[in-house]
């Protein structure tokens, strides 16, 4: 249990190197998706951490149900940032994440009360390939890609 995030029961960021090494040794190719939830801090600020915990649990549970077999989810730096190692092609991975985001934005279960604070997210996806890049460089590149998406001001990626 100590190796897992206590709320979500997924590995914590401390284990990213082991996960990365395992993914690179797998027979199939993987994509890395870095995801940052939108409006999550507002939920915590207005409704408290208990409500925030319930929202994030439901969000992660819904997303994990859609991930293909062999995917690995990790909680990243802050409470609302995640890494997903997803087997398969980048186009399929991006499509799945866009589809789930549309579901979140259209589903009342992911909206907190009358304030219409939608649980949504921005993400960036990249092929991992077999380049032999170290995990630190891969994470640096992923964070840079996510900052670029955020800088575009559009939630559509």
> Can you give the pLDDT at residue 157?
43
Three-state SS sequence of 82-117 = EEEEEECCHHHHHHHHHHHHHHHHHCHHHEEHHHCE
If you classify domain 13-151 with CATH, what class do you get?
alpha beta
Q: What is the DSSP letter of 7?
A: T
Name the percent of the chain lying above pLDDT 70. 85
- Say what the pTM is: 0.84
Q: What is the average pLDDT across 127-131?
A: 78
Q: Contact 38/155 with Cβ under 8 angstroms?
A: yes
> Can you give the pLDDT at residue 117?
65
C-beta atoms surrounding 21 within 10 Å: 10
Q: Of residues 75 and 157, which shows the higher confidence score?
A: 75
Query: pLDDT at residue 156 above 50?
Result: no
Q: Of residues 124 and 55, which shows the higher confidence score?
A: 124
Q: Contact 126/142 with Cβ under 8 angstroms?
A: yes
Residue 6 — very low, low, confident or very high, per pLDDT cuts 50/70/90?
low
> Can you give the pLDDT at residue 104?
78
Domain boundaries, the chain: 13-151
Residue 1 — very low, low, confident or very high, per pLDDT cuts 50/70/90?
very low
Query: pLDDT at residue 61 above 50?
Result: yes
Q: Which tens digit of pLDDT belongs to each residue from 67-123?
A: 999 999 888 877 788 999 999 999 999 999 999 888 877 765 555 555 566 677 889
Query: pLDDT at residue 34 above 50?
Result: yes
């Amino acid at each position: 249990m100590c190796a897992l995030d206590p709320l979500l029961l997924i590995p914590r960021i401390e284990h990213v190197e082991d996960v990365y090494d395992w993914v690179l040794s797998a027979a199939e190719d993987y994509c890395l998706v870095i995801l940052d939830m939108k409006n999550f801090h507002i939920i915590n600020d207005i409704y408290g951490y208990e409500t925030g915990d319930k929202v994030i649990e439901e969000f992660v549970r819904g997303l994990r149900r859609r991930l293909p077999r062999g995917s690995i989810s990790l909680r990243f730096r802050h409470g609302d940032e995640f890494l997903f190692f997803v087997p398969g092609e980048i186009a399929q991975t991006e499509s799945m994440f866009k589809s789930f985001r549309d579901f979140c934005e259209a589903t009342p279960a992911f909206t907190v009360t009358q304030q219409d604070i939608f649980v949504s997210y921005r993400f960036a996806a990249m092929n991992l390939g077999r380049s032999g890049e170290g995990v630190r460089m891969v994470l640096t590149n992923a964070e840079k890609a996510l900052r670029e998406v955020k800088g575009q001001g559009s939630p559509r990626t």
